[in-house]
Amino acid sequence: MTTFVRYVKTQAMAKTVLVSGGAGYIGSHVTVELISAGYEVVVADNMSNCDMTCFEGVKKITGRNDIPFYQIDCCDYAAVTRLFDENRIDAVIHFAAFKAVGESVAEPIMYYRNNLVSFLNILEAAKTHGGCNVLFSSSATVYGEAEVLPVTEQTPRLPATSPYGNTKQMCEDILRDVVLATATSEGPVKGIALRYFNPIGAHPSALIGELPRGVPNNLVPFITQTAIGKRECLSIFGNDYDTEDGTCLRDYIDIVDLAKAHVAAVSRMVDGRMKEGYEIFNVGTGRPVSVYELVTAFEKVNGLKLNYKFAPRRPGDVVAIWADTRLANDELGWKAERSVEDTLASAWAWERHLAGK
Ligand code: UFG
């Protein structure tokens, strides 16, 4: 009885969002935006791929020292259940997953176990605690090398080329199936999958940003680490593609814009504005930018010369992908706003902050 009373919320009380993987790159930016939009946030993270830098930054930006933090592994069902027992969770945003494509090819069991079990545990806990809204962090990787660009949410998914990509597809399907199975129950699970294009940049405060461990796989951290002198030279993988300047085309989405898309999607779920129990949205800018354009924009906006060279193509890269964003624009009332120049300036400010410069 005592437990029940603790959970009774009035309409006026802020909704609570569990952010799994909330101490990481995307999770920390989303936590900031949720709090500034008036949500309460509970963060869960096993710290396997980050330290407390970003969580400390979140506290500074929001002025909130009281954000509940659970250092748990979402693969531990008892720990996830305890978290749900102790908090009335209105929505979950699930980021807690491994994300390195190459590593997933080398360690498929580890990837499937971690990425699937953690999500299944979140869903099971959501289901057994009276239903919940679940936002899954998916990826444009599900489209593979699409024949028609830009891709809409209706563009067929292609078979994944890595276990990592496969876990994204599988988790989307698991969410869809759980939504369907619980639709008529007393505690339905509702779901949104956001398919991110290429998230880059950092918070304007330079207090949170991307913190790759070891040698970065992704382009922008490699650029900023080269510019600061941590890496000798950036390799641009492939300049013989069938594009204007021969380098690959991507849709680089600012991390704060991306975080705001999560707030829009969570609001749609908790305010009961979903049109279907399970929905999918592309989260990108709709603007293709080549690798070479990005590198030269970085140099120009930050007033520096980058040491780079052209190198052979990277196996597994798609030539070009960018988003049709109309569905997110119309249904979520969300649009990417920050220019690629401002985003690249923020990425550089973050790298300098890390270096104490
Ligand atoms: N690139 C370089 N040099 C580098 C790193 C990247 O030229 O040092 C190029 C890549 O070849 C690619 C572009 O920069 O053309 C973007 O590469 P990223 O690694 O930054 O991003 P991807 O488009 O490969 O990655 C995206 C998502 C990942 C997801 C992956 C799946 O960001 O989360 O698609 O293919 F896993």
CA-proximal residue: ligand 1, atom 34 (nearest): 141
Q: Is 101 in the pocket of ligand 1 (CB under 6 A)?
A: yes
Instruction: State percent of the chain over pLDDT 90.
Output: 95
Classify burial at 174, counting beta carbons within 10 Å of its beta carbon; exposed 0-12, middle 13-18, buried 19 or more.
Answer: middle
Instruction: Give nearest CA residue, ligand 1 atom 27.
Output: 198
pLDDT band (50, 70, 90) for residue 190: very high
Instruction: Provide mean pLDDT across the span 188-203.
Output: 98
% of the chain residues with pLDDT over 70: 97
Average pLDDT over residues 203-229: 97
Residue 144 alpha carbon to ligand 1 centre in Å = 13
Average pLDDT over residues 138-155: 97
pLDDT at 87: 97
Average pLDDT, the chain: 95
Q: Which pair of tokens denotes residue 274?
A: 């979903």
Residue 189's beta-bridge partner residues?
132
Strand segments, DSSP code E, in the chain are 16-20, 40-44, 69-70, 91-94, 132-139, 189-196, 198-200, 234-237, 249-250, 252-254, 278-283, 289-290, 308-311
Q: Which residue numbers are catalytic?
A: 164
The DSSP bridge partners found for residue 311 are 237
Q: Does the CB atom of residue 317 touch ligand 1 within 6 A?
A: yes
Q: Please report the pLDDT score of residue 357 as a whole number.
A: 82
Mutate to test the pocket of ligand 1, among 314, 319, 340, 343 (most ligand atoms within 8 A of CB): 314
Q: Do residues 88 and 17 touch, judged by C-beta distance below 8 A? A: no
Does the pLDDT value for residue 5 go beyond 50? no
Spatial contact of 267 and 37, defined as CB atoms under 8 Å apart: yes
Concatenate the DSSP letters of all residues of 159-203 into one string.
--SSHHHHHHHHHHHHHHHHHHHHTTSSS-EEEEEEEE-EEE---
Q: Tell me if 166 CB under 6 Å of ligand 1.
A: no
* Separation of alpha carbons 189 and 191, rounded Å: 7
* Contacts with 66 (C-beta within 8 Å, 6 or more apart), sequence order: none
Ligand 1, atom nearest to 140 Cα:
34
> From the CB of 218, is ligand 1 less than 6 Å away?
yes
- Tens of pLDDT, residue by residue over 13-72, are 899 999 999 999 999 999 999 999 999 999 999 999 999 999 999 999 999 999 999 999
* Ligand 1 contacts CB of residue 243 (under 6 A): no
User: Over 70: is that where the pLDDT of 9 sits?
Assistant: no
Interacting residues of 165 by C-beta distance below 8 A, sequence separation 6+: 101, 104, 139, 141, 142, 144
Query: Is pLDDT above 80 for 7?
Result: no
Tally: H helices and E strands in the chain: 12, 13
The Å distance, Cα 17 to ligand 1 centre, comes to: 30
Instruction: Tell me how far the alpha carbon of residue 200 lies from the centroid of ligand 1, in angstroms.
Output: 11
- Ligand 1 atom nearest the C-alpha of 100 is 36
pTM of the full structure: 0.96
Per-residue model confidence (pLDDT) at position 241: 98
Q: Residue 343: what residue type? A: T
Which residues is 282 bridged to in the sheet?
195
Concatenate the DSSP letters of all residues of 229-256 into one string.
TSSS-EEEE-S-SSSSSSS-EE-EEEHH
Task: List CB contacts of 61: < 8 A, sequence separation 6 or more.
Answer: 32, 203, 205, 207, 208
Q: Which of 229, 348, 336 is nearest to 287 (CA)?
A: 336
161 in ligand 1 pocket by Cβ < 6 Å?
A: no
State residue 3's pLDDT score: 40
Give the confidence band of 12 by pLDDT, cuts at 50, 70, 90. Answer: low
